[in-house]
Amino acid sequence: MECHANMDGTLKAPVTDYANDIHARHGFSCADCHGGDRNADDPEAAMNPAKGFKGHVARTAVPALCARCHSDAALMHRFKPQQRVDQLALYLTSVHGKRLATGDTAVANCVDCHSVHNIREVKDPLSPVHPLKLPETCARCHADAAHMQPYKIATNQFAEYRTSVHWEALSKRGDLSAPNCASCHGNHGAAPPQVASVAEVCGTCHVLFEEMYNKSPHKPVFAAMGGGGCTICHSNHGIRQPNIGMLAGTGAVCAQCHDATSAGGAAAAQMAGLLTKLDTALTQSDAVLNRAHDSGMEVSEPILRQMDGRQAQVKALVAMHEFQVAAVAKPVNEGLAVAAETRRAGEKALQDRDSRRVGLALSLLTIVITMVGLWMAIRSLESKAPAVPKPAGR
């Protein structure tokens, strides 16, 4: 440490970086990875191969080197009892691990994602594998056309991901539970999900959607087509906010397979019609209730009830993944009943507001007439007996 701290450039960098490294905080030193005599002051003695000094660690040797500790449950338990110790086992099953085993050193190993001498905990926002940073870390290689060229892998995943609802949730709303690359592909065991298992991957978060999809006529058809599941309609990396337009009309994803005159096309149009009807009804109720609320009317109860309508809308959107009109119609009808009820309440509140204003106008008229009467009475009184001057008191 002392020697390298006095050097320049790449020989000094590890010492500077290591100050923030999680291993430094737990008392590990250079010799734990590079070997040598940690107590020797003399550089020759400290870096003596006879004392196990390895110097630069080959890229192919990195996973095994890290695993000396990270696969040792007893050792890891001392520092972080809940830390997993299966990273190497998983890595060996990954595309990265398999290719490294064949001698391809261009694939990612531990240090490519976690950094070398500046390794931080995953929860540290400065760590390259923190959920907010991970997509960019993966993109360092996967968005690099030159790097990916030998593997014939597309490089648009990161660009597409940045247009997705998942990226929006992660980066704009700061929702760390939103999916990043590792959520679908795994982290140490990184591999592309097989097309047949895509629905299962999405279903880890979108449980109800998966249940509905499994009941739908699409599942066996898509499976026969070679899989793809959710991605056939929603795409994979660039998943946008779904909307009713995906069912029917120009740009509908259903139209990719179903002709508008076919049974499937008609069902899609029916479902789109039902969902649009519910959305319109709820939006109109919202508008009426907002007008009543802005007029100062107490409509908190129907506003609360309106949430049941929105919940029915969500249920209908979930049920839509069963691709059965009847399944969608049930929650839609429930939602329409709520929308009608809340709209009636809002309209009643607006009628009450108008009645109040009429009542106010009549009251004001009565008050003004009374005041005029009083004023005339005062004038009549004072014309008969005018005020008399007297000396002012204190």
Q: Which residues bind other proteins (CB under 8 A)?
A: 296-298, 300-301, 356-357, 359-360, 363-364, 367-368, 370-371, 374-375, 377-378, 381-382, 385, 387-394
Residue 377 C-beta: closest distance to other proteins, Å: 6
Provide, rounded to whole angstroms, the least separation between the CB of residue 308 and other proteins.
18
When the beta carbons of 86 and 298 are compared against other proteins, the nearer one is 298
152/390 with CB nearer other proteins: 390
CA distance 30 to 18: 9
Polymer length of the chain? 394
Distances in Å between the alpha carbon of 260 and those of 213, 254, 266?
22, 9, 6
Of the pair 326, 385, the CB lying nearest other proteins is at 385
The least CB distance from residue 341 to other proteins, in Å, is 15
CA distance 100 to 109: 8
CB 128 within 8 A of CB 134: yes
In the complex, the smallest distance separating the C-beta of residue 344 from other proteins, rounded to whole angstroms, is 14
Rounded to a whole number of angstroms, the minimum distance from the CB of residue 140 to other proteins is: 39
- Which residue number, 126 or 360, has a Cβ lying nearer to other proteins? 360
Q: How many CA atoms lie within 13 A of 56 on its CB side?
A: 4
Report the nearest approach of other proteins to the CB of residue 386 (Å): 8
Which residue, 75 or 372, has its beta carbon nearer to other proteins? 372
| Closest distance to other proteins from the beta carbon of 168 (Å) | 24
Half-sphere exposure of residue 297, counting CA atoms within 13 Å on the CB side? 24
Q: Which three-class secondary structure state does DSSP give residue 218?
A: helix
Name which of 75 and 364 has its Cβ closer to other proteins.
Answer: 364
Residue closer to other proteins (CB basis): 107 or 299: 299
The minimum distance between CB 117 and other proteins, in angstroms, equals 41
Instruction: Name residue 295's amino acid.
Output: S
| Nearest of 66, 73, 61, 64 to residue 23 by alpha carbon | 66
**Nearest CA-CA partner of 305 in 273, 358, 342:** 342
Q: Which helix (H) or strand (E) holds 333?
A: helix 325-384
Query: 65 vs 292, which CB is nearer to other proteins?
Result: 292
Closer to other proteins by CB, 255 or 292: give it: 292
How distant, in Å, are the alpha carbons of 160, 181, 195, 240, 241 from that of 235?
A: 10, 15, 12, 8, 11
Instruction: Return the structure tokens found at 53.
Output: 């000094």
Q: How many angstroms separate the CA atoms of 331 and 327, rounded? A: 8
CB atoms within 10 A of CB 193: 18
Residue number with CB closer to other proteins (21 or 352): 352
CA-CA-CA-CA torsion sign (361, 366, 369, 372): negative
Shortest reach from residue 370's CB to other proteins, in Å: 6
The least distance separating other proteins from the CB of residue 359, rounded to whole angstroms, comes to 7
* Single-letter amino acid code for the residue at 389: P
Pair of tokens at residue 61: 């040797």
Q: Calculate the alpha carbon distances from 15 to 48, 108, 340 in Å.
A: 20, 23, 70
User: Using CA atoms, how far apart are residues 18 and 13, in angstroms rounded to an integer?
Assistant: 8
